[in-house]
């Protein structure tokens, strides 16, 4: 695939991104699961500056928690914050099943005692051409995969959202086929950027953002980062995903951020950062090209979008 000049990362941006990645992985603030993990979200965003490049600013807690895509609570960006108050994420468990040596239903609190939760600051880019920068707390998905101990035949992972129409009013409508499903290739799931997030801004994950646990895949469009996960399945074939099933001409399985491949109804070459007026140029792989481009070196990203 031909790379446009506009897609080549400027050297200054490259240096800042290396600073960002170094801050995230070399000196990320590892935490333990205690009351201190979920500090008051009113704390100054300045504590996250060490994770940022010069062109990124953390979005506010209010922006992150009131402008959401979470169709289980409604299709408008305000619906999740308005309609998620009756959702109860406690207690919570996740079923691990499929091609694994250790199938089980694992309690979330037990899982959190086995993994290392740390701060990550990631950009979130949505297919509607808007974006945010969010301070997540989470752990690498690879840690959970190791607990499941997949067979060599497991090439893909499918994730499933909880089905509770009595608590999630959006599920009472036939917007999509419920429950919501998403999937990754195994190498994508094992990448160190891929996390399961349990909080943001030092606060337990809000209902409208995917409580109590959600996927975050920062180089893909936001709809890949499935929320309120109750099942993880290990498969030998590419799984069905919700948006690809509903509208395959618009939403592909991979959903990698690619500014040169437009959505049929709008351009993906620029984006609107929430809280900013001027639009930004969209970065290839959402700015994580150096970390993930090797995963797709043999993939036609105009065909497998």
DSSP lists the bridge partners of residue 272 as 130
- pLDDT one digit per residue (tens) for the chain, 305 residues: 433 333 333 323 433 444 444 344 333 333 333 333 333 444 567 788 878 877 899 999 999 999 999 999 999 999 999 999 999 999 999 999 999 999 999 999 999 999 999 999 999 999 999 999 999 999 999 999 999 999 999 999 999 999 999 999 999 999 899 999 999 999 999 999 999 999 999 999 999 999 999 999 999 999 999 999 999 999 999 999 999 999 999 999 999 999 999 999 999 999 999 999 999 999 999 999 999 999 999 999 989 99
CA distance 261 to 301: 8
Other CB atoms within a 10 A radius of the CB of residue 125 amount to 24
Any idea which residue has 């945010």 for tokens? 132
CA distance 257 to 32: 32
* pTM as predicted: 0.86
Q: Which two tokens stand for residue 181?
A: 């499903």
Which residues touch 235 (CB under 8 Å, ≥6 apart)?
A: 98, 99, 154, 155, 156, 157, 158, 183
Sign of CA dihedral 200, 15, 186, 142: negative
Other CB atoms within a 10 A radius of the CB of residue 278 amount to 7
In b/e form, how buried is each residue of 176-196, taking b as 16+ CB within 10 angstroms?
A: bebbbbbbbbeebbbbebbbb
CA distance 237 to 92: 28
Supply the pLDDT for residue 166. Answer: 98
- Mind listing the domains of the chain with CATH numbers? 5-296 (3.90.420.10)
C-alpha separations of 153 from 53, 130, 149, 235, 237 in Å: 39, 37, 12, 8, 9
Supply the pLDDT for residue 44. Answer: 66
* Cβ atoms of residues 130 and 271 within 8 Å: yes
Other CB atoms within a 10 A radius of the CB of residue 265 amount to 8
Which residues touch 103 (CB under 8 Å, ≥6 apart)?
A: 96, 97, 148
Which residues touch 91 (CB under 8 Å, ≥6 apart)?
A: 107, 108, 109
């Amino acid at each position: 695939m031909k790379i446009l000049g506009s897609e080549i990362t400027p050297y200054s941006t490259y240096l800042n991104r290396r600073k960002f990645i170094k801050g995230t992985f070399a000196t990320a603030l590892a935490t333990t699961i205690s009351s201190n993990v979920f500090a008051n979200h009113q704390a100054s965003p300045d504590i996250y500056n060490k994770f940022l490049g010069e062109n990124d600013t953390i979005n506010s807690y209010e922006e992150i928690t009131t402008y959401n895509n979470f169709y289980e609570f409604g299709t408008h960006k305000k619906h999740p914050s308005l309609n998620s108050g009756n959702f109860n994420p406690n207690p919570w468990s996740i079923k691990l099943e499929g091609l694994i040596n250790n199938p089980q239903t694992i309690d979330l609190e037990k899982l959190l005692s086995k993994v290392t939760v740390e701060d990550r600051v990631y950009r979130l880019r949505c297919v509607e051409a808007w974006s945010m920068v969010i301070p997540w707390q989470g752990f690498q998905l690879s840690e959970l995969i190791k607990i499941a101990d997949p067979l060599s035949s497991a090439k893909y992972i499918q994730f499933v959202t909880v089905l509770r129409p009595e608590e999630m009013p959006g599920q009472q409508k036939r917007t999509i086929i419920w429950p919501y499903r998403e999937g990754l290739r195994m190498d994508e799931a094992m990448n160190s950027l891929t996390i399961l997030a349990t909080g943001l801004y030092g606060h337990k994950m809000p209902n409208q953002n995917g409580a109590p646990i959600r996927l975050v895949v920062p180089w893909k469009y936001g709809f890949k980062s499935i929320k309120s996960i109750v099942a993880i399945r290990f498969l030998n074939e590419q799984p069905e995903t919700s948006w690809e099933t509903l509208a395959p001409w618009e939403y592909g399985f991979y959903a990698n951020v690619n500014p040169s491949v437009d959505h049929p109804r709008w351009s993906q070459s620029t984006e609107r950062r929430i809280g900013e007026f001027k639009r930004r140029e969209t970065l290839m792989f959402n700015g994580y090209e150096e970390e993930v481009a090797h995963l797709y070196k043999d993939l036609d990203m105009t065909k497998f979008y």
